Copies of this chain bind each other. A is one copy, B any other.
Amino acid sequence: MKAINTIIGAYQRHSFDDVNAFSMVKRDTAIPTGHDLLVHIAAVSVNPVDVGVYAGIRRPRATPKILGWDAVGTVVAVGEQVSLFNVGQRVFYAGDFRRDGSDQTFQLVDERIVGHAPEEFADEELAGLPLTSLTAYEALFEQMHLSIADIKHNRQRTLLIINGAGGVGSIATQLANHAGLRVIATASNPQSIAWAKQHGAGLVVNHHQDLVKQVHALGIKNVDYILGLSKLDEHFNEMATLIRPSGIIVSITENRHPIDLKKLTKKRATFAWEWMYSKSYYQTDDMITQHEILDQIGQLLQAKVIVPTTTKVFNGLNPESLRQAFKLVAGGHMIGKVVIKAE
């Protein structure tokens, strides 16, 4: 590969109203080694994590910070240890938090965290899926120790998803519903309530009101599992009241203030974090499970068990479309995913 790689990165933090929020640079394209694939990016998505990392740029950088952890593209070269993919194959993945992101023309990514893109789906549909799918899948089927196939068990269990209409919530709702769980999703306006129901939430409550009272009003005293996707500080005490004895709480958002874990002692409840980047961050032995999960997500898409959640598409991966996409996500009112097609 001798093509030139166009990088869209940030040298310093700006307001997303500032046209200088992102810059474009050209570089020689890297040569993949080891387990790396070189992927020609076809589309990317913007997630809240991008906005968070951008906000974390405290001083001007000498090299651009390349964001983007959701991509679909085509393999154009492979490292000498690659065994899962061939040149020419279409792939989708979230990527590695420690490395450059997907907001560039050619990206290096370890094959063990990459899935085969199901061919029936368009780039703009697939680009919005890896990060949310990996997070939702790992939360339900690893951290909660649920089995996707154990419908008999799952049918007797209730899952509360806090922020059920968000990016991760939309996939978690679909996966949990498919696995047989009764899903209570939280949402707060007519559009997000309709979205949550459309994706399989049997019951919806409002996270701006008292969750305990609302769940009890449904005739449900305790829930077996809680997936916390937003504002842990605000909801922790409600979670502690609602979780059943021996229940499992999984959160993807961190607390800003100490949370009183002792509220869970008598119930011997479990609190687990989900961070989709963990396996690649620590280069764990089971990193390849992300390859397997994404391949399974591809099959679930083909089987129409889950549907893509892209609702907004920009054309052209450049500083201006990136800025607009970030501004939308930072606004916090998106339903579904924002995607940018490369061309």
Contact = CB atoms under 8 A, between A and B. Distances in A.
A264 interface: yes
A173 B266 CA distance: 24
A269 interface: yes
Interface in A214-263: 244-246, 254-255, 258-262
Interface stretch (A55-63, A277-285, A332-340): A277-285
B278 A267 contact: yes
A277 B246 CA distance: 12
The interface centre, meaning the residue of A258, A259, A268 with most chain B CB atoms within 10 A of its CB, is: A268
Contacts of A145: 145
Given A142-B246, A245-B279, A282-B245, A271 B271 contact: yes
Contacts of A246: 142, 278-279, 284, 286
A277 B142 CA distance: 27
A27 B106 CA distance: 83
Contacts of A6: none
Contacts of A121: none
Interface in A50-95: none
Given A246-B286, A284-B245, A268 B275 contact: yes
A254 B262 contact: yes
A278 B255 contact: no
B265 A275 contact: yes
Interface in A267-304: 267-275, 277-279, 281-282, 284, 286
A271 B268 contact: no
A321 interface: no
A33 interface: no
Given A138-B268, A266-B278, 13 more contacts: A245-B284, A246-B286, A254-B262, A254-B265, A255-B261, A258-B258, A261-B271, A267-B273, A267-B275, A268-B273, A269-B272, A270-B273, A271-B272
18 contacts: A142-B246, A143-B268, A145-B145, A244-B284, A245-B281, A246-B278, A254-B262, A261-B271, A266-B275, A266-B277, A266-B281, A266-B282, A267-B278, A268-B272, A268-B275, A268-B278, A270-B271, A271-B271
